[in-house]
């Protein structure tokens, strides 16, 4: 569990896209984002107050979150100097970088001296149990995709926001590095050891109030041969009451697999529901979430209308057009 609130470290981001972790926190947990720290030449801006490390600590920041990808996969000397000062100023550091903070002896030594924590969210910090398959109280929703990277995390975050605005009990449950940094907690599922994958998801989504919804961040796809095992573990560990089908209609082939076509939404529906009912016989498919970022508005709306007619399910792009329809469907379960 990462201490909040955060100072968002934007470093020397060459462009706004490099700072997508910071952007995610800014968009989805604005209450955690007290300030930003930019180095010379930084081309990203979250519109937050620029703070020195000392100012950030005084303002209440308890963790510096590395909100930007590093160049060349190396933690540079320039970065390291600032990270060390952050520890001295009283903040922990959280990172989703491939190179781990814990592999930097200077940071480790300084953190020890200052009594501060280094959070490498790529690496599990918990010894997860093996899944026991016991029925838990509370409701769970999982987005499953025709492919990887089709908007499953944004779908879950949109649902959480809409539910909370309606006064419903809802928790986004992060299963990837960005989601963990956004919310300060979660399971880095792609780094969990095979035998404990489903158990880690049971751990992430414990028994809860009957009217509480866990909105579990999806990963991979049952139809993506590199990562389908991860998706399978999410379906059986999460034991969802509701599935949402997630899709990006303009993709020519499965991500990173030129020889593999995307499945149809009907194939995804039938395959995922069949498997989900092993863990939860009452599971239903409640809607379709379409990432329409590559379509203009008229095209997107026409596509969604046709999908609703063809599949008999509410269909929306929850980030562009709101998640209301889907929350209506979930609230009716």
Distance CA 3, CA 258 (A): 42
What is the rounded CA–CA span in Å between residue 263 and residue 279?
A: 23
The number of residues making up the chain comes to 333
Longest dimension (CA), the chain: 63
- Decide: 11 and 79 in contact? Cβ < 8 Å: yes
Applying CB under 8 A, which of residues 94, 153, 182, 197 lies at the interface with a copy of itself?
197
Q: Segment contacting a copy of itself (CB under 8 A): 77-85, 153-161, 218-226, 299-307?
A: 218-226
Contacts of 175 (CB under 8 A, 6+ apart): 186, 187, 188, 189, 201, 204, 216, 217, 218, 219, 234
Question: Cα angle at 152 between 31 and 210, to 5 degrees?
Answer: 70
- Peptide bond preceding 260 in cis form (omega within 30 of 0): no
Near a copy of itself in 243-282, by CB under 8 A: 256-257, 259-260, 263, 271, 274-275, 278-279
Q: What track of x and - describes contact with a copy of itself for positions 90 through 129 (by CB under 8 A)?
A: ----------------------------------------
Q: Kindly tell me which of 260 and 319 has the beta carbon lying closer to a copy of itself.
A: 260
Determine if 146 is a binding residue for a copy of itself (CB under 8 A): no
Member of 33, 75, 150, 222 binding a copy of itself (CB under 8 A): 222
Among 33, 48, 66, 131, binds a copy of itself (CB under 8 A): 131
d(CA 51, CA 49): 6
Q: Which of 179, 237, 240, 287 binds a copy of itself (CB under 8 A)?
A: 237
- Point out which residues bind a copy of itself (CB under 8 A): 130-135, 189-195, 197-199, 222-223, 225-233, 235-237, 239, 256-257, 259-260, 263, 271, 274-275, 278-279
């Amino acid at each position: 569990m990462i201490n909040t609130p955060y100072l968002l470290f934007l470093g020397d981001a060459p462009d706004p896209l490099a700072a997508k972790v910071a952007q995610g926190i800014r968009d989805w947990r604005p209450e955690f984002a007290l300030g930003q720290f930019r180095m010379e030449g930084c081309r990203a801006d979250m519109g937050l107050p620029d703070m020195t490390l000392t100012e950030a600590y005084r303002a209440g920041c308890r963790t510096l979150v590395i909100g930007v990808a590093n160049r060349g996969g190396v933690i540079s000397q320039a970065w390291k100097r600032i990270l060390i000062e952050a520890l001295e100023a009283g903040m922990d550091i959280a990172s989703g970088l491939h190179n781990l903070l814990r592999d930097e002896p200077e940071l480790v030594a300084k953190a020890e001296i200052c009594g501060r924590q280094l959070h490498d969210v790529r690496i599990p910090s918990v010894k997860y149990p093996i899944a026991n398959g016991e029925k838990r109280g509370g409701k769970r929703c999982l987005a499953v995709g025709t492919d990887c990277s089709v908007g499953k995390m944004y779908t879950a975050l949109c649902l959480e926001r809409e539910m909370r605005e309606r006064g419903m009990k809802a928790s986004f449950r992060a299963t990837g590095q960005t989601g963990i940094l956004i919310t300060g907690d979660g399971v880095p599922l792609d780094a969990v050891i095979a035998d404990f994958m489903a158990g880690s998801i049971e751990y992430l989504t414990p028994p809860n109030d009957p009217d509480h919804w866990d909105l579990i961040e999806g990963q991979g796809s049952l139809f993506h041969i590199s990562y389908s095992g991860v998706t399978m573990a999410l379906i059986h560990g999460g034991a969802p009451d509701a599935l949402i089908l997630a899709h990006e209609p303009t993709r020519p082939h499965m991500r990173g697999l030129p020889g593999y076509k995307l499945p149809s939404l009907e194939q995804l529906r039938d395959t995922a529901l069949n498997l989900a009912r092993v863990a939860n016989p009452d599971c239903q498919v409640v809607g379709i979430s379409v990432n329409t970022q590559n379509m203009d508005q008229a095209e997107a709306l026409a596509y969604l209308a046709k999908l609703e007619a063809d599949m008999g399910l509410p269909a929306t792009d929850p980030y562009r057009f709101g998640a209301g329809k889907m929350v209506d469907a979930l609230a009716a379960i």
